[in-house]
Structure 1
């Protein structure tokens, strides 16, 4: 079970993310990146963050520690940004926090070398969870104290948005051609040999148990939250065993549209963004 803390101060929004996460201080004196139930993607994003983040940690990959965070919407009354105020008002109750890594830098493949073994472990893991949001367009990795850390798993396990087709979706291949670590010759076979045996039914059941009940209630087709947790286990278990046979690594396809969900694509536009171009043009006239 995740540790539960209470948010005591909203510090600042992080506008790089599509869900408008924010830096928040808590009653344990920790500082966290908070993701909100009231964001446009809803609670399934938080479910994915917990299951995938906890699975990664159990497999020895670096992911910031996760906590659940109680939020009183009154915390946002002094926030001048109307969008942030509305988000906080819509997110009262239990939300998700990730340990804030001060001084960390966004992953840059030109500045940070990743060895094939580590690259293979990350690519294999992303294939298991079907992560469509760790591409060269948006790596979702940080470098902290010289180590690679994985963040932002809300756009994974896309089958949980359509449970009737979950088994068929989970059986599909994984195209890693545009993966941020594809240029580092990822040793996927070695990763599968090491990690696949660790992804047991028991491990996945323990990981799914970390998801709070209130994020799982009222899911169509499931009478109980335990039945829904079981569905996550049944989708991930066979995929972990065989996905290494279906990972595609080919030339990077810069012109192909992103495979990320629609709510993310507007945030994946390669630099310079159209809005930045417009501002430059306006300032020169």
Structure 2
């Protein structure tokens, strides 16, 4: 068997610094044993481990395609971590998140992307729209762009709302082939004038083997047993993404039509 060369580092969380209360899942800035700070996504929050799976697949797919994403790491939370936290809500969250979580390298001094301030070039806009069509990412709108400007470059964060088929699980085969209707609300759709060019390039990069390698990163402890064995569930994610790519001409054309209706 060929070893998966696509790997993530694992860090031990040492110190809880402050919550990031912008979202409903109460992510937090923490310090890890390697001395770096991370934005930690807790498996015990909100949508639970499914949000972490979407974050993992979304972030690593974006990175493979050459888009800027803060480094993702597996982050271990010790059972004793947070016992001294005075906020009971946060303490409960920490206790429910013992074990393996997911974190993004914290980009200090980064600012939220504002489309009224920063103009994104058509190629980059098209690349991000293409990615979000693939991932069915509902959370890249004007209201909540989930992008940061850091060192004058655009960085993508928070893919936890992507791959929303896994919240109901039934009918995923049909969902895999459908156009992404909510692309009409994407903050970068008006600038995305190069979708066909990006489609040709990205489909060559995102091979079936690359998809398998990314999905293989999902830890078994994040997978709910009622959905099947870890290998069976990973296979569903792999088949979902591969089926979308097989039907992506239709999906891209839908996004092009949605853009034409805006401009």
Q: How much is the aligned-residue C-alpha RMSD, in angstroms? A: 1.5
| TM-score normalised to structure 1 length | 0.84
Kindly report which structure 2 residues correspond to 1:109-148, keeping only aligned pairs within 5 A, or say none: 109-148=115-154
Residue 217 of structure 1, CA deviation: 4.5
Residue 250 of structure 1, CA deviation: 5.3
CA distance, structure 2, for counterparts of residue 73 and residue 17 of structure 1: 24
Kindly report which structure 2 residues correspond to 1:162-181, keeping only aligned pairs within 5 A, or say none: 162-175=168-181, 176-181=183-188
CA distance, structure 1, for counterparts of residue 146 and residue 204 of structure 2: 26
- CA deviations over 1:144-177 (Å, ceiling 9, x no partner): 1111111111111111123331011121112322
Contact 1:199/1:237 (8 A) holds in 2: no
Contact 1:31/1:100 (8 A) holds in 2: yes
* 1:249 counterpart residue number: 259
Structure 1 residues 185, 97: closer, same or farther in 2, change over 3 A?
closer
* 1:263 counterpart residue number: none
CA distance, structure 1, for counterparts of residue 219 and residue 71 of structure 2: 16
Tell me which of 190, 194, 210 is aligned to 1:203. Answer: 210
Tell me which of 79, 84, 98 is aligned to 1:78. Answer: 84
Residue 226 of structure 1, CA deviation: 1.5
Residue 80 of structure 1, CA deviation: 2.5
- CA deviations over 1:9-38 (Å, ceiling 9, x no partner): 000000001210000100111110001111
1:24 correspondence with 2:30:
yes
Q: Which runs of 5+ in 1 are unaligned?
A: 253-285
* 1:274 counterpart residue number: none
Contact 1:59/1:195 (8 A) holds in 2: yes
1:155 correspondence with 2:165:
no
Structure 1 residues 219, 57: closer, same or farther in 2, change over 3 A?
farther
CA distance, structure 1, for counterparts of residue 253 and residue 244 of structure 2: 10
| TM-score normalised to structure 2 length | 0.91
Contact 2:52/2:102 (8 A) holds in 1: yes
Larger radius of gyration: 1
* 1:232 counterpart residue number: 237
